[in-house]
Chains A and B, each alone.
Chain A
């Protein structure tokens, strides 16, 4: 009798644990990394390190937010790394040419969205798979950046511009964090609470059914790439501000890390919060491996393994909920 009860309790505890891990998802992983790093290293839990990590993550997470729209809409955009560099350099060039700082940033955001829009048009109307279309666009954008900058960093930017990457609000909260919070609030809201967000999920889930349900598939496809381009441009501007210059070769793998962050966060239950968790997890791994003084080359290997492992976990989670 007693044994039976014990088993029963055990399973119900197991179920509770399951439910908990399921709800927490990748946030649990973030928490785990955080605890491990706090214990294993002396300088992880310092103000200087944490603000540094957060600033690094901000740029990646902004790109990832845009990438999540593209990925959940069933496509992929490989050109975002170069979009970051392009937007940063473009804004820097405009400012150096005497254009008002705000106007320069606005122009580059619009251009970023338009280039994304172009990728979307190529994918949707010319029926070129997004992997190839964005691969092509990546080189077009890279080439344009190099032409404009002659492959040299663009420095000598107005003092005020540095605020976006390096500044603090109330001397505590880094400005990029504010930008990130605002963007994720908007991105998350649009995703969950508007019919556009529903269209993105529907198109990503079953494009044929979406078409036959009267959803405007073409507009949705073009829109997700525009959002991806806009987000990457914004990230690029924040990055340029942090580096206090437009770097033509900056952030060569930001775009790919962003895609990884979306997958690590989990696409089976796509949401802005998951994307944020994915970005945090990757950021902590990067930072942690540095602090643990892991050889830089081994860091790359470890990162790759962790990305694959994280996505595997998401799939296991998805198939587990599927069985219920």
Chain B
């Protein structure tokens, strides 16, 4: 049966966040019983759209039609009652209770207020049986594999009569075999007339399971195509086809000797498999790739934050042992983490405490903290990095994202880091502050530091790097020199080669 009737239609949806336009005049239509791929780079607006459908965000303007009627999705409850179910990457299951209880979470079968356990298990079993899935409904969810947990989520969605199931990168943590099982379930959903929005980075999967695809880029609707009519290279062109429009400051740093070299590093194959590379003084080395490709994990291994199964690290040609962040700091490696609030800052402590957190020895005289020196140093960095704060005694929680990031940078600058690792250094900060961060990166390169930048923003990584390594599924899938930078080359490596 060829699906034709539209179940869900989005017209001219707009959504803006302070400083960012997340969705601009987004159009989308979903037919009953189709599997519709939603693709785009990181930050293209996929998750914003998903959150509008789930009721987590409110749209600024535009209209949503569900089964032909205009609806105003006011909250998660409303969306659920409409029949929209979302399966997030972070699964929403209660780990310590049984599969059946999870399926009927919050609405167990009751008679006179008493839960009917027998019926609950029977009903759950029947649901799984209707999909030909073998599942022990008495088992605790925590004993299931990720793939099985995902199936439980899907069955839960079906049990609340979902008509539209949105899956956010459901295959990202599945093996090939498990993916096939998931696809089989998706096909049975189709047969039952349930529509699926399938968000993925893996282009092959679109060909394997999807009927149509819609491409988003920079929050804009680019186009919808029947999957059977497009080629992979057309898809990539749709995903990235745009001009570089952000300006990146010129850099005049001289690239010197090798500073850091990593050989055959792995964490036992979970996220990082046999990564080798080197970076030179004055060089900015970019790490591109999709979310989950193992870039952050690689950096954490270098920094000693996670346990290395294998691999050697050389600094200035000498092998060093780094088993903890303390040792990394001692070897003058700095790490500006991806999540500054969770991993980089002491939010309720003042700016001054944060700046001296790593190099506290610098403000000590005879084992006693010298507050005068602390003030002097903090003031200097606030001035040099133009951190907008009323005073160094302001708690960092009250600073804007860009200024918080500068505080993190100051912390590592004060500790004289020779190797500076920056993981998504401009995430969540506005355009003006971004440029300032790029300028700081340039200054660091000019001072002869070796810089590694992990970024999922294509323009950014091409704009600031001297050389780009692309990672795919825990391995370096390609190296691109500055003269060969192109979005299509990098994207091809990022999705595992064309």
Contact = CB atoms under 8 A, between A and B. Distances in A.
B360 interface: yes
Contact of A206 (B325, B346, B361): B346
A195 B325 contact: no
Contacts of A205: 346-349
Interface in B296-325: 303, 305, 325
A2 interface: no
Nearest to B368: A193
B345 A206 contact: yes
A38 interface: no
Interface string B91-107: 00000000000000000
A195 B335 contact: no
Nearest to A198: B360
Interface stretch (B183-191, B201-209, B336-344, B466-474): B336-344
Contacts of A211: 305, 325
Contacts, number: 69
B324 to A, nearest CB: 8
B326 A216 contact: yes
B305 A195 contact: no
A201 B353 contact: yes
B343 A209 contact: yes
B305 to A, nearest CB: 6
Contacts of B364: 195
A213 B411 contact: yes
Interface string A197-218: 0100110011011111111100
B127 interface: no
Contacts of B328: 214
B367 A194 contact: yes
A126 interface: no
A183 B376 CA distance: 31
A202 B346 contact: yes
Given A194-B367, A202-B349, A205-B349, A212 B360 contact: no
Contacts of B347: 205-206
Interface residues of B, number: 32
A213 B325 contact: yes
B357 interface: yes
Interface string B397-424: 1100000000000010001000000000
B237 interface: no
Contacts of A208: 342-343
Contacts of B397: 322
Interface residues of A, number: 20
Nearest to B370: A193
Given A202-B346, A206-B345, A206-B346, A212 B368 contact: no
Contacts of B344: 209, 212
Contacts of A213: 325, 329, 357-358, 411
Contacts of B343: 208-209, 212
A208 B347 CA distance: 12
B325 A209 contact: no
Given A193-B368, A195-B369, A198-B360, A214 B345 contact: no
Contacts of A215: 326, 357
B340 to A, nearest CB: 9
Interface in B163-201: none
Nearest to B357: A213
Contacts of A210: 346, 357
A193 B348 contact: no
Contact of A198 (B305, B326, B353, B415): B353
Which of A193, A206, A210 has the most C-beta atoms of chain B within 10 angstroms of its own C-beta?
A206
A215 to B, nearest CB: 7
A214 B358 CA distance: 6
A311 to B, nearest CB: 17
Which of A193, A201, A214, A322 has the most C-beta atoms of chain B within 10 angstroms of its own C-beta?
A214
A194 B348 CA distance: 19
B153 to A, nearest CB: 28
A212 B345 contact: no
Given A194-B369, A212-B305, A212-B344, A201 B349 contact: yes
A83 B54 CA distance: 54
Contacts of A193: 368-369
B156 to A, nearest CB: 31
A211 B329 CA distance: 11
Interface string A226-248: 00000000000000000000000
Interface string B223-235: 0000000000000
The 6 closest A-B pairs by CB, nearest first: A214-B329, A205-B346, A195-B360, A213-B357, A214-B326, A213-B358
29 contacts: A192-B369, A193-B368, A194-B367, A194-B369, A195-B361, A195-B367, A195-B369, A198-B356, A198-B369, A201-B353, A202-B357, A205-B348, A206-B342, A206-B345, A206-B347, A208-B343, A209-B357, A210-B346, A212-B303, A212-B335, A212-B337, A212-B343, A213-B357, A214-B330, A214-B358, A215-B326, A215-B357, A216-B326, A268-B348
Interface of A: 192-195, 198, 201-202, 205-206, 208-216, 268, 322
